[in-house]
Amino acid sequence: MRFSIAPAVALASIFVAATSLSVAQTSSSQAPTQPSQPPSNGSSNGKVIFSRSIDANGQATTTAGPAAPAALAKEPIATDDERSAVTFTAYDLDVHLHPADAHIAVRALVTVRNDGKLPLAHIPLEISSQLNWERIRTGGRDVRFEVATLNSDEDHTGQLHEAAVPLSTPLAPGATLTLDVTYSGAIAASAQRLVAIGTPDDAALHSDWDAIGVDFTGLRGFGNVVWYPVSAVPVILGDGNRLFDEMGRQKLRGFGAAFRLRLTDEFPAAVGEAPTVAVINGHSVALTVTSGGGSDVASVATASLDDARLGFQAPSLFIAIRKPVQATDTTLWTLADDEQAVPDWSAAAQKAAPFLEGWLGAHPRSQLTVLDLPDPEDAPYETGTLLAAPIREGTAAELDGAMVHGLTHAWLQNETNAPPAWIDEGLATFMGTLWLEKISGRTKALESLETNRQALALAEPASPGESAGQPLAQATSPIYYRTKAAYVFWMLRDLAGDSALAAAFRDYDATQDASAKPGATPSSGKLEKLIEQHAQRDLSWFFADWVDADKGLPDLAIESVFPSSAQAGNMLVAVNLSNSGYASAEVPVTVQTDTTSVTQRILVPARGNADKRILVQGTPTEVQANDGAVPEIEASVHIKHLADADDQPPATSQPGPASQ
């Protein structure tokens, strides 16, 4: 069994063989209808707003029902520039679930800001095509709006319902507006977007498992099922990485947004059907269960998350019937069929915790929640301090790695704040490689990073002038905020030392780097200052090249090696390194003899050279620059074999860490 705990990884593996598709045109055409009053949040059954079917030409058609509150647009009103201009700064959601019929009804107060350059005459709001807009109010008044159906794989159905909300006064750049919106519908499992590109039904449903049900409700949010209002550029699978780029952009723009949710789950009254666990935005919340008082009266479970801020994440909601098992800093919520695997998971948590304590502090800021997915083949998913995965038997290496990664998030996050993605995800990846180093050595740990270095090199700009790339504080792609960030922490480890870096991690508090303005660039300054303070070293040059700007990767080479005799049988070896890249790098340089080796570090400036004289005992036989800890464009290990001073063979480069 293999665990893939990075969000969207399971989707990516399915999409890789998909053919390229182009965005289809919006399909809808109906006469305007009058708005109607929405059902109260306490109602378990909504009216039919839309019915959807496939016509003789294979196209989706939309028909207005008798309670449709808005006109159906013949074509989208909003433009991509307008969608990109809208930033959500606050969500206040009142969510009512009726799992017996997969129904959800939501009243939401959402605050949006115009981050565009031009005033907005209307606000585009999108939800899953399984949901229907019922009512939208601004300034205490009902607004008549039009709804278009967009073809977009940001939702598992492959479509979104977009309401274009007209404004009596255009929203000026930088201005904010609060909208009161109501919508409802039934969210059942749908793999339409995957089936449309040829994915077998079974595999598609194990990836797109989002649905509302009595035993399990899982709504992962934008990129899986859009159960809350968003404003996003519609994209489809097969169009390069645009879907995943838009998912990252939405998470970054929402970073720091105020978030509040009140949940009411109306479930069947039969004994044993009460939900036992609720998780909002990756954090477990307390459930209060009220009995309906009879077999024909539904019971209710309620929960809430108040005064929170979004991290780099899509808002998510999980509620399920599971049995809790306590492990070290972890709660495992399991199905009865999977209880035999619990001891292995508990053992992995017990091993991981002391290791993390040494690096991150004596106690985590929150508990890790592991939620058993309904089917053992369902694709794992993580967000916040939640790992939703089939709890089944696995190797010690797999489970240990999963728990080190997940528990790192628990050490860094609490219910209300999370660090920027490059710290949260990058540090979790880094700790995973440190665990591998603990078990198998440094070379194996660096080899694990090397597997993604080529993809990072391809993603990086050839020069800062070619494109802005993705500075880590603004990164939206996993290749940056996981892979590059993990490399950054390896380099900081070598620059600062283990004890100083660990002390900085222990002192770091995510609330100190939380953005005061949603959509603003998350800061990295606090962590930098802590590392500099504990290492007693100025690292501004490093953060300038590797974190605050994206200057690509260095491109090192051993230009020359000149051994010369010294006293008492020692040799002085002059090593000259060049860097044709645009990012400075400090790398280890090792001179090897038949009996010993000496390693010193050399800072090689961008677009420049650096020299180092290294004293060794005996005749040098080999010089190595970099050991794989610094990612480079072409190779991360450079070796020059020395025959004699007059006949030196050329230096060679290797793609990853040298064998030991």
Q: Which fold has domain 556-654?
A: Immunoglobulin-like (2.60.40)
Q: What is the pLDDT of residue 319?
A: 98
CATH class of segment(s) 421-546: mainly alpha
Quickly tell me which residue has 């209808």 as its tokens: 33
On the question of pLDDT at 540 being above 90, the answer is yes
- In this predicted model, what pLDDT tens digit does every residue of 583-601 receive, in sequence order? 999 999 999 998 899 999 9
Tokens of 369: 């929640």
The band of 132, judged by pLDDT with boundaries at 50, 70 and 90, is: very high
30 band by pLDDT with thresholds 50, 70 and 90: very low
What residues does each domain of the chain span? Answer: 9-236, 421-546, 556-654
Judge whether 231 and 124 are in contact, CB under 8 Å. yes
Tell me the two tokens of residue 404. 């080190």
- The 3-state DSSP class for residue 338 equals helix
251: left (phi over 0), alpha (psi -120 to 50) or beta: alpha
User: What does the pLDDT read at residue 291?
Assistant: 81
> How is residue 480 written in tokens?
């940056």
In the prediction, which pLDDT does 509 show? 86
Q: What does R_g of the chain's alpha carbons equal in angstroms?
A: 28
Cβ pair 237, 152 in contact under 8 A? no
Q: What is the pLDDT of residues 297-346, one digit of tens each?
A: 678 999 999 999 999 999 999 999 999 999 999 999 999 999 999 999 99
For residue 221, the 8-state DSSP code is B
Percent with pLDDT over 70 in the chain: 83
Burial bucket for residue 601 (CB in 10 Å: 0-12, 13-18, 19+): exposed
Among 32, 98, 87, smallest CA distance to 269 is for 98
Cα(31)–Cα(395) distance, integer angstroms: 60
User: Which among 624, 568, 616 has a CA at the least distance from the CA of 595?
Assistant: 616
> Taken in order 315, 319, 322, 326, is the CA torsion positive or negative?
positive
Residue 127 host element (H or E): strand 120-128
| Total H helices, total E strands in the chain | 14, 31
pLDDT of residue 74: 77
State the pTM of this model: 0.85
- Helix 525-535 vs helix 498-507: angle between axes, to the nearest 10 degrees? 140
**Nearest alpha-carbon partner for 188 in 234, 247, 128:** 128
Mean of the per-residue pLDDT values of the chain: 86
Amino acid 293: pLDDT: 65
> Band of the pLDDT at 73, cuts 50, 70, 90?
confident
What pLDDT does 55 receive? 37
Helix (H) / strand (E) element for 423: namely helix 421-440
Residue showing tokens 């700064």 = 89
Q: Output the six-digit token pair for 568.
A: 């008492």
47's CB contacts (< 8 A; 6+ apart) are 36, 39, 65, 66, 67
DSSP conformation class of 628: S
pLDDT class of 265 with cuts at 50, 70, 90: very high
Beta bridge partners of 592: 597, 622
CB 348 within 8 A of CB 396: yes
C-beta separation of 87 from 518 below 8 A: yes
Residue 210 has pLDDT above 80, yes or no: yes
Q: Of all residues in the chain, what percent carry a pLDDT higher than 90? A: 74
- Nearest Cα residue to 248 out of 228, 233, 227: 233
pLDDT digits (tens, 9 = 90+) for 525-537: 789 999 999 999 9
Cβ–Cβ < 8 Å for 639, 658? yes
**Higher-confidence residue: 539 or 70?**
539
Return all residues near 126 (Cβ < 8 A) that are at least 6 apart: 150, 152, 160, 161, 162, 163, 226, 229, 230, 231, 232
Output the six-digit token pair for 84: 């990109």
Three-state DSSP state, 185: strand
In the structure encoding, which two tokens stand for residue 577, read together?
A: 């390194």
User: Which two tokens mark 235?
Assistant: 């994209």
Fold matches, 421-546 and 556-654 = no
Q: How confident is residue 646, by pLDDT bands cut at 50, 70 and 90?
A: very low
Strands annotated E in 152-293: 159-171, 176-186, 216-219, 258-267, 277-280, 283-285, 288-290
CB-based contacts of 21, cutoff 8 Å, min separation 6: 197, 236, 237, 238, 239
Does position 390 have pLDDT exceeding 90, yes or no? yes
